[in-house]
Amino acid sequence: MAGKMLIVDEKSGAAIRELVNCALVLNQRYNECDKNGHRKIDEASSMCNYCYRHLSYETPETDRIYKERKKHPEYQPCDAPLLVEREMSEIEIQKSFDWSSGIRKLMEEPETGYNV
């Protein structure tokens, strides 16, 4: 993209500012919930309705592999580090989804968002 300029009109510029504002608000809410505990817990969905994160993360694909392997206790997998990495990746994907979902929800809130 060298030598090319990105042209942002007034409407898209406003949307970008709102997106940045929502990201700042969400980051602040993450910090508050990390420091003081989740503020608006919804037990049914296992979510915090303040920072829009799951209270815990599940790893169904990795759990399925572990369960299958327990059926064969004589088998000692040499790929255990890869399974741990897979589990961490599953959690990171869920956290990314929580972040994106949180931004969207904040954009819908009248006091913080753009109301798209």
pLDDT above 90 covers what percent of the chain?
Answer: 53
Q: 114 lies in a domain? A: no
Overall average pLDDT of the 22-50 stretch: 95
Phi–psi pair at 82, nearest 5 degrees: -70, -35
Phi-psi region of 32 (alpha: psi -120 to 50; beta: other; left: phi over 0): alpha
Asked whether residue 38 is domain-assigned, the answer is: yes
Task: Please state the domain count of the chain.
Answer: 1
Q: How would residue 67 be classed by pLDDT, with cut points 50, 70 and 90?
A: confident
**Position 115 in a domain:** no
What single-letter amino acid sits at 18? E
Q: Is residue 3 part of a domain?
A: no
pLDDT of residue 99: 97
Q: Is residue 68 part of a domain?
A: yes
- Whether 116 is covered by a domain: the verdict is no
With respect to residue 78, please indicate whether it lies within any of the assigned structural domains: yes
In a domain, 5, yes or no: no
More confident position, 5 or 62? 62
| In the predicted structure, residue 19 carries a pLDDT above the cut 60 | yes
| Residue 72: domain span | 10-108
